Structure formats: C-alpha cells, structure tokens
Chains A and B, each alone.
Chain A
Amino acid sequence: MYDRLYEKDVAITGIGQSEVGRPSTLSGMRLTLDACLEAISDAGLRKVDIDGIACWPGDNNNGDSFSPVGPLALKNALGLEVNWFGGGYEGPGPLAGLINGAMAIASGLCRNVLVFRTITESSTRQHNKEASALSNKTLGRDSSFAWQWYTPFNVLSAANLVAMYAQRHFHDYGTTSEQLAQIALTCRRNAQRNPKAIYRSPMSMDDYMQSRMISTPLRMFDCDVHCDASTAIILSRRDIAKDCRNPPIHIEAIGAALNQPWSWDQISLTEGAAFDVGRMMWSRTDLKPKDVGSAQLYDGFSILTMIWLEALGLCPKGESGRFVEGGQRIALDGELPINTNGGQLSGGRTHGLGYVHEACLQLWNKAEGRQIADHQVAVTAAGGGPLGGSLLLVRD
C-alpha cells in the first residue's frame, strides 16, 4: 500500500521514570525532570543531543493534574535547543507523543526526541476529590465538543462510558465478572514483584467481587489507581540508535487509525478505536500476532485490556473472556504475559508511557523480580473508546 514505512527508521534508545507516588511530595516539574534526565542518560546521550520534544496531551489545560507539564515548560526548565516540538490532546491516544515524535525523526526534522508524560492526579485529589469530574473540564455550561453530550446526563467519568462497553461485551459474548476479574488479579500479582507499584498486597477473587460497585458492571478494582509520576522515552534515528548504550528497540509498526467518529457513544461499543488501530498496525509489518512475546495493554479500566487483546488479534473477537479465564495464559510464565509491572490497575495510572517503559525493560531483560522469558517482539497499546494507538516493538 505504501512504498516506505517510515516508523522503521526510528528506535527507542532510552527510558526513564520518576518515583510513582500516591501522592508524591515532588512537584510535577521535578518528577518530569527526574524521568527525562534518567532517559537521556540511559540512552547514553547528552542534553545537547536532544533536538526534539513530544508529549501527549501536553499542558493544554493550564496545569491540570491530568497533564501538568507540557513541552514548553520542559524545554525552558532543561534549556533545550530544539528543531521540533509538539504536544496536544487531539491525537491517537496516550501513545500519540511517541507516534508524533517518531514521524518528526523519520521526516528529517530532528534526530533524538524526548517523549514524556507527567500526571499528578493523586496529589491533586488530596485536596479536591472532584478534580477529575468531567463536569469540571469546562466552567459554566459545557461547551466541549465531546463532553456536552454526556455531562447533562450526569456522566461525570469515563468509567460510566466504558462501563457501557463492558455491559455490551457481557451481553454479546457472555463475558462474566469472574473473567473480567482476571485482569485485575493478574495485574496485582505482577505488582507484588514491582517495588514501584502502588498496590502490592495480595488480591483474591473474593476481594475483587466484594470491592464496591462504581458503575455496573465495573467495580473499584476494574478502575486504575491515581498516582503522581512521570515517564520518559528517548526516540532516535536508526543510524544514531545503533551507537547508543542499549540495543535499539525498533518501532516495527504503528497503529493510529480511526475510521469511525471521534465519540464515546457513536463509535462501536465493542470495538472502540482499538480494532481500527490493530488492523492498521498489522498491515505495516510481516510479523504476526503469534510472534508477540509480551503485551502491555491499557488498563485504565479492565474491560479495555480485554478489548485490546481482541483488537490486536491476540485472541479472537469476543473471546477475551475465555482467553483470560483462570489467568494462566496471561501470567508472567504464561503464553502471553500482560501488564507485567502491575499495569495501571495496581502499578499506578502513569497513563500510557508506563506500558512502553515496561515493554522496554522486558525486552532488555532488565525487569528485575518480574523478568519473563527472553523475547524480541512486544506490543503496547493505549486508550479506550475513541482514543487508541499501538506500537509493535522489536529488539535487535
């Protein structure tokens, strides 16, 4: 279809992550700097080598805890001289910074892009429990393109919208709460081996079933846990990457498609954007789903991980409930380990780049305490509803 697939000119060369606090006493900027400097150093690069910055969603809400630090503030704090920089919400979900950054490198605008994502929802909620209610995204009447169709009906969280996807999945495919629980239970088991994870105490099926109902059929343990953290990833041009400190992790294929309306209720209730994303990603590579050794799949809500399993062809459509049943297949020693650091459900809602950070640790055999069998191919995907993006990663 295309004569050249430009993402193959780009590799991940370094990663970094701040402390993951609930809450952290550090400022959003300090968390960001900790992550970014660690990533630059991890790549074996210096500050002067960074000539691009990318972020999703950026500081588009004036310091809002969902994204308190954007590319502009970071550029000033680090004194970076750049050829290209960009942020903004309106892209293919939480991996959009990586996708944009990769394209900036592939098109010759820059050589090494610092991609980051900072979130301070935990500390903000210490003094304002309503900070993330959708009704507080706009002052006065709701003039937002998307939310005005939901907030008048007291849809005040994405949990309500995603709960309706789960309900439909249960209805159409016979998926059960016990099956859905396996995502939360698997994440908790993995988190117990990750010292940075927020929730590390054991969770049983009873604990899950008794956790309070948030929005049927989603319980508290189906929803991710707010935190304060920053994650950074360095992207480099292929020829530079081979001289960096780590074995390059190549971007084998990007999924970023949306062939339906950008809307939480006009989009397919069982597919979201994820199926469009998966089709695009696999159309850009000769690799197949059976080649994937680990999968880090968005778990802002547990049902979204199930949808990603289907959308990326890791199990047949409608079969994710049966695929995860019992939890063995998706465990650290299973045929397809998922969310090996505890995901966002137990690890913390680092929101997007945390999955890529963990995928790289696993591919580099650096996931101490939770390292899975050596493998070269990993998939990461993030987003729910109309938000969706994926990356197929291959280590040299």
Chain B
Amino acid sequence: MPRKLPALTADNHSFWQGGRNGELLIHRCEACKRYFHPPSPICPTCTSFEVAPQRVSGKGKIASFTTNHQPWTPDLTAPFVIAIVELQEQKDLRFVTNIEDTPPEQVHIGMKVRVQFQQEDDVWLPLFVKD
C-alpha cells in the first residue's frame, strides 16, 4: 500500500529516521526532563533550547484507534487500523500510527503495543504491533 512520506527537516528527521538503527527517537528537554512531540527546537513547556532526540522504549498502549474502511484513494487497501499510541515513558506522550499484524476486531483501547519499523525510501515509519 503506497504511503505519502514526510518532507525531512533538521527538526523532524530524528523521528522519521531513528528506525534505521532500530531506535524510536523522541525529543526531550534537558532542563525540565519532559519529552515532547512533534519535535521542535524548543521545549513547549519551559522554552529551553536544551532539547535533543532521545531513545525511548518503543512500548506503549493504544489511547484510541479506528479501522478505516473507506478507499479515500484508489490504491488504498482497506480495512487497516489507525491508532494513537501513548508511550510508556510519559502520560500523553503520543502520536498517530498504524497497528500491524493484528486483526482489527482484536484491537482495543489500552492494548499494549511495541514499535516495529517499516522502511519506505529514506523514512523508517514507526508502526506498532501487539506486545
């Protein structure tokens, strides 16, 4: 199934390319120690510039999900599962992803998941599977 890939920038490439080394990299503030996403040159909580991508466990739970059935474009293969995964490192540290290799009817809020990277060109998409 084709995917629209993100344009890489100095701020976002760590997230999209960390998977090259099997690492999920999330920005963290050295001053207040909070993780934040999406990545940015400044901490949105304490406005410190002392921020850098840091490896996280890649484990979390599903905050919400949906099974998409609609073929928005002709080459889309439905159904597939879209989810918001909350990482175990911090409450509300989360992002949109896909749940792979799990029948849609078994997916539920609170389900434990772990990252599994899928390479597309120079992007390593952080997808998730049941943990």
Q: A residues bordering B, Cβ < 8 Å? A: 130, 133, 135, 140-143, 148-157, 159-161, 163-165, 167-168, 171, 212-218, 261, 263-266, 269
Contacts and interface: CB of A to CB of B under 8 A. Distances in A.
B123 A152 contact: yes
Contacts of A163: 66, 68
Contacts of A149: 6, 38, 95-96
Contacts of A148: 6-7, 12
Given A164-B84, A168-B109, A266-B37, A156 B72 contact: yes
20 contacts: A135-B4, A135-B72, A135-B73, A141-B5, A142-B5, A143-B7, A148-B6, A149-B6, A149-B38, A151-B4, A152-B4, A153-B125, A157-B72, A164-B84, A167-B66, A214-B69, A215-B68, A263-B38, A265-B94, A265-B95
Given A142-B6, A154-B82, A156-B76, 6 more contacts: A135-B4, A149-B38, A154-B3, A154-B76, A218-B66, A265-B95
Contacts of B88: none
B72 A212 contact: no
A123 to B, nearest CB: 19
Interface residues of B, number: 39
B6 A215 contact: no
A161 B68 CA distance: 10
Nearest to B83: A164
B67 A152 contact: no
Interface of B: 1, 3-8, 12, 37-38, 44, 63-70, 72-74, 76, 80, 82-84, 92, 94-98, 104, 109, 120, 123, 125, 127
B108 to A, nearest CB: 8
B80 A154 contact: yes
Given A153-B98, A154-B76, A164 B65 contact: yes
Contacts of B66: 160, 163-164, 167, 215-218
Contact of B70 (A142, A150, A161, A214): A214
B50 to A, nearest CB: 20
B76 to A, nearest CB: 6
A153 B1 contact: no
A156 B73 contact: yes
A285 to B, nearest CB: 31
A167 B109 CA distance: 9
B125 A215 contact: no
Contacts of B68: 154, 160, 163, 214-215
Contacts of B95: 149, 265
